Structures are given as C-alpha cells and as structure tokens.
DNA sequence: TGTACATCAGTGAACGCGCGTTCACTGATGTAC
DNA sequence: TGTACATCAGTGAACGCGCGTTCACTGATGTAC
C-alpha cells in the first residue's frame, strides 16, 4: 500500500494538480447552477481547456459529480471529527469545583456533552461556509444520478463520529439513560422499540466493530438517530430558506436546540431549570 | 368577492381546465427531471400543443414553477389540517377509564398528543406519496429561482397547524411545561432563551393573531420549532436516501421519533418507562 | 335575433444558445534496452 | 548517454440534441348595440 515511488513523475504531478483544479472549478460553478446544471463545457472553458480534454480526467459528468460528493462528505466528516477530537474526553482528573461524590460521573457527562455539541456546531459551520456542497449531499437527489457505493464510507463519517462520542462515554461508565422514572401519556418505552432496537443495535455495532463491548443501550442509540435527523433538519431549514422572516439569525435557535437534543439523547429532562 | 358570474363561459372553463392539465403534466415530469430540469417544451409536447402556446397560461417557466410550489405547499397543508381536524380536540366528557382527579388534564394532554402525531404522520404520508413535490418545496433551492412572496402563506400552513394544536391545548388549560424540576449539566433554561424567546413569541403571535390570549409559553414554542425541524429532517433523510442500508423501512423509527418529540415539546421526560 | 368589433387561444417559424460525448489527430513525456 | 517505442494529455471538429422566449398570424369565442 506504500506509494510505489518516492516521488511522482512530472506527468503524475500535473495530472493530480489538474484533477484538483477541475474539481475546484466545478465546485465554484455549483453555486450558480446546482448539481445537475453543472456543465463540463463551462468548467473546461474556465480552465482554458477544450471540453473533450476533461474526459482524460473524468470519464463522464456523473463521475465528476461523484468525486465532488465524496469530497464534500469527507470535508464535513473531517471537520466534525476534528472538532470532537479538540475537546478532551474527560476534564483533568483533579479539576476544581466538583463535589467528590458525583464529580467523576458529572465530568464524564459534561465531556460527552461538550464533544457532541462541538460536532453539531462543526456541521453547521461547514454547511454555512459551503452551502452548495451541503445541498449536493443533503439536498434533493440529482435526477438521473445514482450515487455509487463508494460514497457510503464518506457519508457515514459524521453519524459515526457522533455515535462514537456516546460510545466513548459509555466506555467511561456513562450511566445508561435514567429515563425510566417519569412516565408520560403514551407508551413509548424501551419495550416498545421493537424492530427499532434491532436496527439501532446493528448500526451501533457497525460503528464500533473495532471496539466491541460496552454496547450503547438501544434507546440511547435510537434517540441519537433522532437527534441526528434534527441536526440536519435544522441546518437544511436554515440554508434552504424555511426560516425566512422568523429565525433569521438562527444561531440562538441552533445552540439551544443542540443542547436540548443532547439532553434528550442522554435521557435527561429537557427542562427550563438552570 | 363572490364570483362575478354564476357560470363560467366556455372559454373560461377551457382555460381553467388546461391550466390544471399543464400543472398536472409538469408535476408528472418533475419526477424524471427535477425542478430545474423541467421543460416547458416537453410539457407542451406531451399535451399535444406547440410550446409557445403555454405562454398564454404561464408567462414564464418560473411562473409555472411558482404555481407548482404553491400547489404543493397547499396540498401538504391541507392534508395536515385535515388529519388534525379528524382527531377530536378532547375525548367525550364522560368516557370511562379515567380517574376523577387528574382525568381532565390527562385527557387534554392525550388529545393534544394525538392531534400532533396525526399532523406529523400526515406530513410523512404525503411526502412519500409525492416525493418530487416534497423535494420541490423542502429540498435544495432551485438555482436561479427566487420564490415570490405569494409562496409564504401556503408554506406556513403546516407549521401553523402544528402550533395551533398546542395553542388549543393551552386554551383548554394544558399546563405549561413542567420541566423546571430536573436540572441537567448545562445551562439551557428558560432564562437563557434570550432573543430566542422573542422570536418564538413573535411567531406564536402570528399564528394566533385572530385568537389572542393564552399565549404559548416561549419554551414550549421554541421546542415546537425544534420538533418541526426534526420532523422534516427525518422525512428528508428517508426520502433523500440517507437511511439507505440502515432504517430502510423507517416506519418504526418515525413513529417512535414523533412520540418522543411530542413528549419533548410538552416538557415531559423522554423516558423508557411505560 | 343579428351584426360589428374586440378579445383571446393556439400556430409555426425563427433566434440564439448550450449541452455531453466521440473520434482521429499531434506532440510531449516516460520507459526499456 | 542515446535511441526506439509506448503511453498519455490535449486539440478541434463534428454529431445530435434540447432549451426558453418572441413574433406575426389565423381563426374561434365573447360582447355591445
């Protein structure tokens, strides 16, 4: 798997660079045209090439699209992973201001919380900086385009990163959801998860196949999926204009929502108390 | 405002019918092409007309798109309103099986819950039946197209209908969120809503301008907005393919999520108990 | 009820444009001996 | 180090296609008297 040569030939370097240039220009044009309005001819024109030359780099327009999609997924994925990694898994052991008894548990919970929120914010920050790439991967499907399997790996980086935050918390003794006490009007308990529990466990297993043990409780996993859909629902509404005239700077709403959903995932009361 | 004539002339009837036919055919073609791939020429061809004839009905392609968008918003809006209206605001007063003391309050809560869930299910049902119209209004914006103000009214029918469910509950004495008791790790309390509270109150006021009084508590309004984003986030993920290979029949996930989010909005514990 | 005029729907040709993809080609870069 | 051949990048013309919109026109429907 090591590169066959220490240094690339001039031809290989030129090819790599032009490939990057083509994708960059295509990305730039995405803004004005949308995914299926993207034009190979226009990209070539802007790069000072003849349109047929692009076919040396991408065998068809769909292949260029696929490359852009993979790059976009990898870009958000990388940002989210980095944002999470930047928050320590646990605060320094002898930090001040914690009671002795419940301190350890609170600290783990707080760390999980901060890492989760950092991941959510990274999604929104990237999306606002690259709205057209966001639309490419999370917006309506491009008509006539079928994403190949090679997009799946990059696509799951964000959800996997978020689930890993919860898994890491579980590995450090984060107690399972304590939501069993306060009942509510309808039957939505763990016992009613049914097939949902299986689906959630299967996903959690995928995420952690290199790190078995400490499985995420099914109800937490399912609520994490719900929070994941909320995160992207809110970002999509903000970017796609559903908030026009209401939550126009959506910053406050986003932060509040992310915090509330984190509490929801952990089974904590979504309350009004401090 | 009454129609100026009891019966339309033959010309007027023909015009109304053809307008409907054009939109119907355009809607059909949306499936294969997407919003900005929609072709006036193709629509005309399929209807056996010459393309320039369409300009007697819609002055431009964008105007046709606008009509389709308004129709789509009205279609979901109508379905959601009907689904909500089909659930009684309150169960019959002397229904059996309720304790005397807390019965009334529970009944109101249950009615609000059922009406909300009916609205959510109606969104998903409509979306799955009309995925391309859903993409048209909730997917990525069409490049180069600016939705005119006339789309706003139809667009808010769904969120307004959902908020009205909560308002009606409040008018019947639904207690405000009781979430003030159980604290959680971070400061996400009502006092921290800040500008968010103002935004939420402003929206709730819009919804209920014909019915002042009994304002929705700001935290409930904000959580309703969050649940609204979750609802559409989940439907979008399902329709746009983000659930491929995981929650492929998303029915169980959807029902569970809707129930959980309803509890979340009402400030009830999202628990595992029955 | 009948006529004169105005309104409107639909026609067909045209303008000017852009697109994805193929193909035979030239000339530069890389490789093997 | 030098030559012979293979690989590859980029060219330019062409194929076949579809698009939105305008315009002068014909003929049918509606209206006023």
User: For the segment A93-141, what is each residue's pLDDT rounded down to a tens digit?
Assistant: 655 554 555 577 788 889 999 999 999 999 999 999 999 999 999 999 9
**Looking at residues B87-97, what average pLDDT do you find?**
69
Q: How confident is the model at residue A212 (pLDDT cuts 50, 70, 90)?
A: low
**Looking at residues B18-22, what average pLDDT do you find?**
98
pLDDT at B127: 98
Q: Is the pLDDT confidence value at B183 over 70?
A: no
Is the distance between the Cβ of A150 and the closest atom of strand C smaller than 7 Å? no
To the nearest whole Å, the CA of A157 is away from the closest chain B CA by: 12
pLDDT at A104: 73
Q: Which nucleotide is nearest to A45 (CA to C1')?
A: C18
Q: Is the pLDDT confidence value at B20 over 80?
A: yes
Give the separation between CA A186 and CA A197, rounded to whole angstroms. 18
Is the distance between the Cβ of B41 and the closest atom of strand C smaller than 7 Å? no
- Number of neighbouring beta carbons within 10 Å of residue B34: 25
Give the separation between CA B71 and CA B68, rounded to whole angstroms. 5
Give the separation between CA A216 and CA A205, rounded to whole angstroms. 9
pLDDT at A182: 36
Which segment of A208-212, A252-256, B152-156, B243-247 scores lowest on mean pLDDT?
A208-212
Q: Is the pLDDT confidence value at B88 over 60?
A: yes
The per-residue pLDDT of chain A, averaged, comes to: 85
pLDDT at A9: 85
Is the distance between the Cβ of A64 and the closest atom of strand C smaller than 7 Å? no
- Tens-digit pLDDT profile for residues B57-69: 999 999 999 999 9
Instruction: Give the orientation angle of helix B251-265 with respect to helix B218-240, to 10 degrees.
Output: 170
- Tens-digit pLDDT profile for residues A56-70: 999 999 999 999 999
Give A 28-67 residues with CB within 8 A of chain B. 32-37
Which segment of A122-131, A164-173, B39-48 scores lowest on mean pLDDT?
A164-173
Give the separation between CA B164 and CA B113, rounded to whole angstroms. 12
Q: Chain A partners of B260 at a C-beta cutoff of 8 Å?
A: 188, 223, 226, 264
Q: Which nucleotide is nearest to B61 (CA to C1')?
A: D20
Q: Is B1 helix (H, G, I), strand (E, B) or coil?
A: coil
Task: Name the residue among B152, B199, B232 with its Cβ closest to that of A233.
Answer: B232
DSSP-derived letter for residue B181 is: S
Rounded distance in angstroms from the CA atom of residue B150 to the C1' atom of nucleotide C18? 32
First-to-final CA distance of chain A: 54
Q: Which residue is nearest to nucleotide D7 (CA to C1')?
A: A11
Residue located via tokens 């007027």: B12
Give the separation between CA B234 and CA B212, rounded to whole angstroms. 33
Q: Is the pLDDT confidence value at A268 over 80?
A: no
Q: Which of B140, B231, B240, B261 to mutate to test the interface with A (most CBs of A within 10 A)?
A: B140
Structure tokens given for A53: 């030359």
Give A 204-223 residues with CB within 8 A of chain B. 219, 222-223
pLDDT at A93: 61
Q: Are B201 and B225 in contact (CB under 8 A)?
A: no
What's the CA dihedral at B59, B60, B66, B71 to 10 degrees? Answer: 60
pLDDT at B92: 63
- B240/A138 Cβ within 8 A: yes
pLDDT at B180: 39
Q: Is the pLDDT confidence value at A211 over 80?
A: no
Q: Is the pLDDT confidence value at B100 over 90?
A: no
Q: Which residues contact B6 (CB under 8 A, 6 or more apart)?
A: none
Alpha helices in B208-273 (DSSP H): 218-240, 251-265
Q: How confident is the model at residue B1 (pLDDT cuts 50, 70, 90)?
A: very low
- Tens-digit pLDDT profile for residues B252-272: 999 999 999 999 999 865 443
First-to-final CA distance of chain B: 53
Give the distance from CA B138 to its chain's centroid.
10
Geometric angle at alpha carbon A17, from A16 and A18, rounded to 5°: 95
Task: Name the residue among B152, B181, B256 with its Cβ closest to that of A271.
Answer: B181
Give the separation between CA A91 and CA A89, rounded to whole angstroms. 7
pLDDT at B41: 98
Give B 221-250 residues with CB within 8 A of chain A. 222-223, 225-226, 229-234, 236-237, 240-242, 244-247
Give B 124-143 residues with CB within 8 A of chain A. 135-136, 138-143
pLDDT at A194: 80
Tell me how far CA of residue B184 lies from CA of A168, A243, B94, B181, in angstroms: 20, 29, 40, 10
Q: How confident is the model at residue A269 (pLDDT cuts 50, 70, 90)?
A: low
Q: Are B73 and B137 in contact (CB under 8 A)?
A: yes
Residue located via tokens 């003391």: B101
pLDDT at A201: 77
pLDDT at B194: 80
To the nearest whole Å, the CA of A271 is away from the closest chain B CA by: 4
Q: Chain B partners of A69 at a C-beta cutoff of 8 Å?
A: none
Share of chain B above pLDDT 90, in %: 64
Radius of gyration of chain B (CA): 22
**Looking at residues A77-103, what average pLDDT do you find?**
77
- B140/A240 Cβ within 8 A: yes
DSSP-derived letter for residue A216 is: P
Residue located via tokens 């994403």: A147
Q: How confident is the model at residue A24 (pLDDT cuts 50, 70, 90)?
A: very high
Q: Chain A partners of B269 at a C-beta cutoff of 8 Å?
A: 179, 181-184, 269
pLDDT at B213: 61
Q: Which residues contact A166 (CB under 8 A, 6 or more apart)?
A: A112, A116, A174, A216, A220, A221, A224, A265
The per-residue pLDDT of chain B, averaged, comes to: 85
Give the separation between CA A223 and CA A227, rounded to whole angstroms. 6
Q: Is B4 helix (H, G, I), strand (E, B) or coil?
A: coil
pLDDT at B62: 97
> Does B173 touch chain A if contact means CB atoms closer than 8 Å?
no
| Residue among B249, B104, B103, B228 at smallest CA distance from B165 | B228
């Amino acid at each position: 798997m090591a590169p066959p040569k220490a240094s690339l030939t001039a031809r290989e370097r030129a090819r790599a660079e032009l490939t990057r240039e083509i994708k960059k220009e295509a990305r730039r044009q995405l803004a004005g045209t949308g995914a299926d309005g993207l034009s190979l001819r226009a990209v070539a024109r802007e790069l000072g090439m003849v349109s047929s030359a692009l076919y040396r780099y991408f065998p068809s327009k769909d292949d260029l699209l696929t490359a852009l999609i993979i790059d976009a997924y990898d870009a958000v994925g990388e940002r989210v992973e980095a944002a999470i990694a930047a928050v320590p898994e646990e605060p320094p052991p002898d930090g001040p201001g914690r009671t002795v008894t419940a301190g350890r548990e609170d600290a783990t919970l707080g760390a999980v919380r901060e890492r989760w929120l950092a991941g959510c914010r990274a999604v929104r920050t990237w999306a606002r900086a690259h709205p057209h790439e966001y639309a490419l991967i999370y917006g309506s499907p491009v008509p006539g385009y079928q994403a190949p399997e090679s997009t799946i790996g990059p696509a799951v980086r964000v959800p996997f990163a978020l689930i890993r935050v919860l898994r890491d918390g579980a590995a450090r003794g984060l107690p399972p959801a304590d939501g069993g006490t306060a009942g509510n009007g309808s039957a939505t308990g763990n016992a009613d998860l049914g097939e949902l529990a299986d689906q959630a466990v299967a996903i959690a297993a995928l995420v952690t196949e290199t790190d078995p043990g400490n499985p995420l409780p099914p109800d937490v996993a399912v609520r994490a999926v719900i929070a994941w859909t909320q995160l992207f629902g809110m970002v999509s509404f903000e970017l796609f204009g559903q908030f026009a005239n209401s939550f126009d700077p959506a910053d406050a709403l986003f932060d509040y929502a992310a915090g509330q959903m984190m509490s929801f995932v952990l089974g904590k009361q979504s309350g009004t108390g401090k």
